Amino acid sequence: MINSEYLKKLNNSQKEAVLYLNGPLLIVAGAGSGKTKVLTSRIAHIIKEKKAYPNQILAVTFTNKAASEMRNRVSSILSKEAVGLSWLGTFHSISAKLLRKHAKAVGLNSNFSIIDQDDQTRLIKNICKAENIDIKKISPNFILAIIDKWKNKGWYPEDVILKKKDILEKGFLKIYKIYQSKLIDLNTCDFGDLILHCVKIFEKNPDIAELYSKSFKYILVDEYQDTNHIQSRWLSCLTNQYNNICCVGDDDQSIYSWRGAEIKNFLDFDKKYKDTKIIRLEENYRSTQNILTVASKLIENNKNRVGKNLYTNSTDGELVSLECFRNGKDEAMGVSDKIEKLKKNYSLNNIAILVRAIFQTREFEERFLKIGLPYRIIGGIKFYERAEIKDCTSYLRLIYQSKDDLAFERIVNTPKRSIGDTTIKQINDYAKKNSLSLELAAKKLIELNLIKPKTKIGLSSFLNMVSKWRNDLTIKKMNHVKLMQMIIDESGYSSMLKNKKDLENENRLENIKELLNAMKEFDNLESFLEHVSLATSIDQKWDGEKVNLMTMHGSKGLEFDVVFLPGWEEGLFPHQKTIDEKGQEGLEEERRLAYVGITRAKCIAIISFSMNRFYQGDWIDSMASRFLDELPEKNLLKNSYFDEDQINNEEEFDFNQDFEAQETMRSPGWIRYQKKLK
């Protein structure tokens, strides 16, 4: 039995992890070391060796996709469908199942509903309205993020501990109390409640906890480094009887503290579970040795880690490239040049650019659009399709062209000006009936006094601002970048984003600053708007292979033949905000993020930084990231593209010239696009 085929496919460490079935086990699984194979083989082995029935195995993942993959792999090993694995799923799906059986213990009925994000937001809005809290100043999503943080820590309203500095959160606690009470009244719960309620049931009802603890002979947890406090408590409640808990993860890939993940769950596993066996999976099946060495030497600078040494039986491969550019624009050109050469040997689908912040994609997108290199944004939206960018460009479009009804409709009530759907329909109907633009129709309705008083104030204010901005552009000949900045401020758009203090709106502000950077590359508003239109039209026609652009956070779990890692500069990476907020812990998480980025590469990894970068409206002299000093010299190939002659001496492509904005229509990207249409 021990010589089963699935065991023959495992290396010694993997086999040891599968066969160790008595007591707590922590599997420290390095990047690309086959952790999913180990987990699924372990489940299959438990069933094959009759150590437990399928319904006595609790296997927990973070995503439905991971759960489905695990189930399929187990079925493949057993050569039959893995029936009976009724407790294989996500933390939330399993908790929902448990909660339905014992809902009354927390004041719910078994037929409770689970509300989604939209319903949560609506409920918070209603509570804020009743409590006279201005949601224009405090985003409901920000309040929900704080409530979710408390639930991740295992706190009901009565458990919340506030520090003196948490003045803002003091007001949120009252909302949390009302919110939680409303959920119970409505016989519903949010995703945070699913785990929180289960823990409460287990801790307040030892008999129920014992029932499930006896039911689950083996517990397996994937991506354990991403667990939060309440998930750790949830697991503890279920391990008292057999103590056969096996957690798999990589502390060096713990990059989600902003979502509540606590790395100490992983680091303190052997303290929490006595007689823990630790097995390290150190053989990597993904990357070359040079890539692994660079990643390993970097992460060794972190103090809070279990530790491991990744190696591969594959070749050393190419040295990791370290490249320096004059500025972000040159960096984008350098990367595109390299991709054009690499695509002879590698599919574009297997080439990725991993950035620290999403606004960084803009310069790459601009370059790729110019030369006609197809790309996709993974886990996000392309720059000119982002809501805040479309809002800003809609303001500009309406000012430039008063008959742009689509632009008018998009921004007439953005930010909120008490102009609802009914009023917009009224304007549309009047415009259609009288063959007018929406802007003219709105003016006529105000003149005829057919708009409600409150709405009239907001609509008049909007129309007056548009007229003023149009005058600034056409009469005063105001620079289009300055005009955009004025619009953002005077419209209230900037205040809207700043007041709603959450990560999403911070990213939107960064994107708008990047939009202003983009506009400076064009001589006038006309050429910029033409560029935006052209960019989206080319983009819509692309199919087939595409270069992948994404954040480093979004790349976790993925792999590519070639990985570009641009923007390794102080302040950007490691990100200054993270260091300011979390100090040394934040720096270590940023370093783990760098480790994740490097280990996505199978064959080629290229790290780059710029000497200057246009950031937040100003040119800044960039300092190379401190992480670069931590990379091993012997595994690096250093290149510098400061010298124009050096670039020109290299093999050139016709489409790698830097075209001026006014030449967009004749750019190689446009030529490629036209050829594609023929």
Q: Is the pLDDT of residue 263 over 90?
A: yes
Q: Report helix, strand or coil for 282.
A: coil
DSSP H helical segments within 520-608, as ranges?
525-541, 552-555, 576-598
Cα–Cα distance for residue pair 512/517, rounded to 1 Å: 9
Tokens 């040295």 sit on residue = 319
Among 120, 227, 253, 414, the active-site one is 253
Predicted local distance difference test score (pLDDT) of residue 161: 84
pLDDT band at 120 (very low <50, low <70, confident <90, very high): very high
Q: Is the pLDDT of residue 444 over 50?
A: yes
Active site residue 35: yes
Among 37, 329, 362, 600, the active-site one is 600
Per-residue three-class SS string for 417-441: CCCCHHHHHHHHHHHHHHCCCHHHH
User: Mean pLDDT across the stretch 628-650?
Assistant: 71
pLDDT, tens only, 251-260: 999 999 888 8
Among 190, 193, 222, 363, the active-site one is 222
Which of 271-280, 316-325, 375-384 shows the lowest per-residue confidence on average (mean pLDDT)? 375-384
DSSP state of 403: T
Query: What's the Cα-to-Cα distance from 671 to each of 342, 368, 527, rounded to whole Å?
Result: 22, 13, 18
Sign of the CA dihedral running 523, 526, 527, 531: positive
Among 36, 188, 241, 276, the active-site one is 36
Predicted local distance difference test score (pLDDT) of residue 616: 59
Averaged pLDDT of the chain: 89
User: Which among 64, 634, 42, 23 is positioned nearest to 281, based on CA atoms?
Assistant: 42
Active site residue 270: no
Q: Is the pLDDT of residue 623 over 60?
A: yes
Active site residue 222: yes
Which of 48-62, 336-350, 424-438, 658-672 shows the lowest per-residue confidence on average (mean pLDDT)? 658-672
**What is the pTM assigned to this prediction?**
0.83
pLDDT band at 179 (very low <50, low <70, confident <90, very high): very high
Predicted local distance difference test score (pLDDT) of residue 27: 97
Where residue 674 falls (left for φ over 0; alpha for ψ -120 to 50; beta otherwise) is alpha
Cα–Cα distance for residue pair 416/371, rounded to 1 Å: 39
pLDDT, tens only, 527-546: 999 888 877 765 555 678 99
DSSP state of 262: -
Higher-scoring residue by pLDDT: 360, 533: 360
Predicted local distance difference test score (pLDDT) of residue 670: 42
Cα–Cα distance for residue pair 192/228, rounded to 1 Å: 11
pLDDT, tens only, 84-103: 899 999 999 999 999 999 99
Amino acid identity, position 393 = T
DSSP state of 301: T
User: Mean pLDDT across the stretch 385-389?
Assistant: 92
Active site residue 117: no
Q: Report helix, strand or coil for 378.
A: coil
Predicted local distance difference test score (pLDDT) of residue 289: 97
Question: What are residue 191's phi and psi, to 5 degrees?
Answer: -65, -35
Structure tokens at 308: 């491991």
Q: Report helix, strand or coil for 556.
A: coil
DSSP H helical segments within 372-404, as ranges?
387-400
Predicted local distance difference test score (pLDDT) of residue 648: 41
Q: Is the pLDDT of residue 416 over 60?
A: yes
**How many CB atoms lie under 10 A from the CB of residue 341?**
12
